[in-house]
Chains A and B, each alone.
Chain A
Amino acid sequence: MITARHEELAALHALGLLEGADRTAFEAELTAEPELRAFAGNLAELTAILALLAPSAAPPPGLKERILASAAAPAPEKMVSFQPLRLLPWAAAAGLAFAVAWLSFQNLSLRRDNEALRTGRELAETAYRMARNQLAERTLLAERMINDLGLRLARQEDLTRLKVTALAALAGDTKEAQAIAVWDPEQQTGLLTVEKMPALATWQDYQIWVVDPARENPVSGGVFTVTPGGRATLAFKPDQPVTQATAFAISREKKGGVPKAEGPVLLLGQ
């Protein structure tokens, strides 16, 4: 049965708009469901018709001849003299080697994909566990946001939507600092956990920034301080809408924060 969700995914797939895990998951569904596969194929054909709406533009003279000349160029393998009996053992060995190499490559690719998915999930779960442990005494509002994120993390489909970013230290005195930002683009909220951050002067705050290519300057996500042990957890919501969070940064600013980063950027993650 074709559901509204199937229709949406098939439409996005036909236009090449599905990427990453969403695309992989949908193509797995296509393999398993003939009715859905036929529907998606139908939309793909329909999409191709849009090509005919392009304003007319005759190809330049000579393009056809250029294509035919390129097609006539002998493929490298055809230039080798063919001696079947002499080459048979080598061909068999080469074929075997190629098959082994191809299978190894496929195996490696699948393992890498699988590893990346598993790592992504583990990272998200780790971030969630850290946040959950450290937020026990935090405000009710922050806890509700964490639980909300946790519920979403439990659903596989939402994992792909959340952006989990590990921030790396840029400045010398934060070499041991660790920070993870989890970003929910739909809710426009994020969760930041940091450890081993240097202590601040009384007139200073740390400030989290969200880098959005659609905006000229990074968007502020708010300020925070750390415990004597250098820990902090911050549920943040940028003060402006974020179209696409491509990176997160933490800078050291004057107390209360600034609208545009002035202090040194200490940690950065993409």
Chain B
Amino acid sequence: MLIAPAPLLLLAGFARPADDTRHDAPARMSEDPANPRPADDPAEELARLVQAMAGGDRAALARLYDLLGGPLHALALRVLNDSAEAPDIVHDAFLQLWRKAGDYEPARGSVFAWAATLVRNRAIDRVRTRKRRTEILHGSAAEILPAAVGDSDAADRLGLAEQAGAVRAALAALAPEQRTALELAYFGGLTQQEISARLNEPLGTIKARIRRGLLRLRETLPARP
């Protein structure tokens, strides 16, 4: 698999100059999408790829898969915990990116955030459908294992252990109860009420933990536009 070096936080649209979010520059994918010039801003490269995809450039889609296929598959697998279903989710998400590329507006968020949201939402829908089916069959809620941040993560696949380490360190610096609430919300696909029940804490406490946890991450990670 062709993996381009791309700073993790830049990939996700972080640490960009404030006036650099419009991506007004014309697309360069028509030059040679499969072998693009070295990207000084991976978020911009992703935006250019999506712009080229909007014009029907399948090489741009292939390149986007090379960059994001691994992390998105890891995300789907983490949410679903099912290696048979995860590729289907990734397949559908990439098709959605392909078909809706023309609707993408950089000002509304990074390509990475868009793609991750697509995968996560689809995976969570699948989990909730599965859970409803289990509840009907067994009359009890399905167990969703708490998240465990692994030694090796999706970002490492991009050769970015250092930057990924920064994100992991930021998460590790949170109070354990804040980290658990964020992990259950992001990977577990639980509702506020379900997190409250799972952790046996009042709903207000859960909301406060999520708010403080995300704000703390925001302070810890590098500057954003």
Question: Which among A43, A49, A216 has the greatest number of chain B C-beta atoms within 10 A?
Answer: A49
Query: Nearest chain A CB to B173's CB is how many angstroms away?
Result: 14
- Is B25 part of the binding interface, using a Cβ–Cβ cutoff of 8 Å? no
Option from A4, A50, A59, A72 in Cβ contact (under 8 Å) with B186: A50
Pairwise interchain contact A45-B113, C-beta atoms closer than 8 A: yes
Pairwise interchain contact A14-B214, C-beta atoms closer than 8 A: yes
Pairwise interchain contact A12-B13, C-beta atoms closer than 8 A: no
Q: A63-B69, A71-B61 are in contact. Are A186 and B14 (CB under 8 A)?
A: no
Q: With A and B bound together, what is the CA distance between A7 and B203 in angstroms?
A: 16
Q: A43-B214, A63-B90 are in contact. Are A52 and B155 (CB under 8 A)?
A: yes
| Per-residue interface assignment for chain A, residues 1 to 40, with 1 indicating a CB less than 8 Å from any chain B CB and 0 otherwise | 0001001100110111101000000000000000000000
- Is B144 part of the binding interface, using a Cβ–Cβ cutoff of 8 Å? no
Interface secondary structure of A, over-half rule: helix
Query: Nearest chain A CB to B21's CB is how many angstroms away?
Result: 10
- Is B35 part of the binding interface, using a Cβ–Cβ cutoff of 8 Å? no
Interface size band for A = 35 or more
Pairwise interchain contact A45-B78, C-beta atoms closer than 8 A: no
- Is B30 part of the binding interface, using a Cβ–Cβ cutoff of 8 Å? no
- Is A226 part of the binding interface, using a Cβ–Cβ cutoff of 8 Å? no
Pair count A-B, CB < 8 A: 189
Pairwise interchain contact A48-B113, C-beta atoms closer than 8 A: yes
Q: A55-B74, A58-B73 are in contact. Are A50 and B117 (CB under 8 A)?
A: no
Q: A16-B121, A16-B124, A213-B141 are in contact. Are A52 and B8 (CB under 8 A)?
A: yes
Footprint of A on B, CB under 8 Å?
Answer: 1, 8-9, 12-14, 58, 61-62, 65-66, 69-75, 77-78, 83, 86-87, 90-91, 94-95, 98, 108-110, 112-113, 116-117, 119-121, 124, 135, 140-141, 147-150, 152-157, 164, 167-168, 171, 182-183, 185-187, 191-194, 196-197, 203-204, 207-208, 210-211, 213-215, 217-218, 221, 224
Could you list 5 further interchain pairs (A-B, Cβ under 8 angstroms) beyond the known A7-B215, A63-B90, A67-B65?
A17-B191, A55-B148, A63-B69, A185-B193, A244-B194
Q: What are 17 contact pairs spanning A and B, CB under 8 A? A: A12-B192, A15-B210, A16-B185, A42-B224, A49-B8, A51-B72, A54-B74, A54-B77, A54-B187, A55-B150, A57-B70, A58-B1, A59-B73, A63-B90, A68-B65, A72-B58, A186-B203
